[in-house]
Amino acid sequence: MNMASYARIAGKVLSGCQRHLPTTCGQRFTRVLQFPQRQFSVKTHAAVKYTKNKQKDDKPKEERERRTENINRHKPFGLTAWKPVDDVYVTRFYPKTVFEVNAAIDMLKRFQELDFTYPKQPLYLDLKLDVKLEKKKKVDPFVSTVHLPHPFKTEVNRVLVFTENTEEVKIAQKSGAAFVGGAELVQKIMDDEVQADFYIAVPAILPKLLPLKNKLRKKFPKSKRGSVGTNIPKMLELFKTGHEYFVERDCYVLTKFATLDMHKEQILSNLVTIIQDVCFHRPTSYGPFIERAIICSATSEALQIKIEQFLPKTDNEKML
């Protein structure tokens, strides 16, 4: 095969390949650009990754947070002044007034006279508790019954006594128990045939009362609440005329403690009794248990009161 034959074959091959080349605006590319081969350097090491040095801060969040104290300031932080100048003012611009207990009781009695409201309306005590303990522990919500020095209820609480001892049954009946019995009362209570305000029991019968735990819940007899023991007359005396209060929303106590028509000394005595009983549920080594106290009547405004003088002293205060 001569040189001319090679040229014809090469022309046919190129003409056939030309149909497969891409077109732009209806024209075919007649030649392909060739770039000279270049050798690029290849990195044989990994790139260094720069990271910001994060300083470890061992301080807890509480210490890192900026706390603004009102000590030695010409006005409270975020408020207008310590005391209003005019008689009429917007209360949210000034610190909330904290009254002495005796002055607050006199004000509540005066409010009733000015408003012509019911003179025997109940008085309420609202406490906010500091339930923190060491680390992440806290005081569990509790229920307590206290004997007020001046009871304000006219009706007597109905108390049921669980016992199977014949002598204890007679003692309970003489002491004024509404119901007395043993395991036979369990089913009647489950069926709501027997109902009482309080339930007390002797230690020997507690295993037979376990089916009532979900039914009675907080009213189920417990030694921590003073509703389990062998001194039946003493327990009946407490629960027949006792006043019950409990912690709600984790750290609040809202309870009645007197009526407005009682003498100021009687109102104060009941108030101090409840405050001291509440403080009994947390050791004094953790500081004051009550953060703030408010009293009010059923128709009056709420008055925040000073209770520091009624709180138990801590170990450091006793040493001073």
| Res 64 pLDDT > 50 | no
> How much is the mean pLDDT over the chain?
84
The values of phi and psi at residue 6, to 5°, are -60, -35
Where in the chain does DSSP place strands (E)?
23-24, 27-28, 98-99, 122-129, 143-146, 159-162, 179-181, 198-201, 243-248, 252-259, 290-297, 303-305
Lookup: tokens for 266: 């009687």
Which are the contacts of 122, defined by CB distance < 8 A and separation ≥ 6? 152, 256, 258, 259, 260, 297, 298
Q: Which residue would you say has higher pLDDT here, 155 or 5?
A: 155
| Res 33 pLDDT > 60 | no
- Strand order through the sheet with 198-201: 179-181, 159-162, 198-201
Lowest average pLDDT, out of 11-25, 134-148, 222-236, 283-297, goes to: 11-25
| Res 23 pLDDT > 90 | no
Alpha-carbon gap, residue 176 to 15, rounded angstroms: 122
pTM here? 0.72
Alpha-carbon gap, residue 219 to 86, rounded angstroms: 52
From 288, 299, 263, 289, select the one nearest 144 (Cα to Cα): 289
The pLDDT tens digits of the residues spanning 128-181 come to 999 998 888 899 999 999 999 999 988 899 999 999 999 999 999 999 999 999
Q: Are 117 and 256 in contact (CB under 8 A)?
A: no
Q: What is the pLDDT of residue 43?
A: 54
pLDDT band for 268, please (50, 70, 90 cuts).
very high
Break the chain into its structural domains and give their ranges.
93-150+244-305, 159-241
| Res 63 pLDDT > 80 | no
Lookup: tokens for 26: 């209806």
- In CATH, what class is 93-150+244-305? alpha beta
Q: What is the pLDDT of residue 73?
A: 72
Domains 93-150+244-305 and 159-241 share a fold: no
- Given the structure tokens 């690029």, which residue do they identify? 40
Q: What stretches of 26-140 show up as alpha helix (H) in DSSP?
A: 61-64, 101-115
Q: Are 253 and 245 in contact (CB under 8 A)?
A: yes
Which are the contacts of 245, defined by CB distance < 8 A and separation ≥ 6? 143, 144, 146, 253, 255, 274, 278
Q: Are 159 and 196 in contact (CB under 8 A)?
A: yes
The pLDDT tens digits of the residues spanning 90-128 come to 888 888 889 999 999 999 999 999 999 999 999 999 999
Alpha-carbon gap, residue 294 to 275, rounded angstroms: 12
DSSP-derived secondary structure for 188-237: HHHTTSS--SEEEE-GGGGGGGGGGHHHHGGGS--GGGT-BSS-HHHHHH
Cβ neighbours around 320 below 10 Å, total: 6
Chain centre distance of CA 137: 13
Lookup: tokens for 67: 């706390």
Which are the contacts of 301, defined by CB distance < 8 A and separation ≥ 6? 111
Q: What average pLDDT does range 55-75 have in this prediction?
A: 56
The pLDDT tens digits of the residues spanning 233-264 come to 999 999 999 999 999 998 999 999 999 999 99
What CATH number does domain 159-241 carry, 3.40.50.12160, 3.40.50.790, 3.40.50.1370, 3.40.50.300? 3.40.50.790
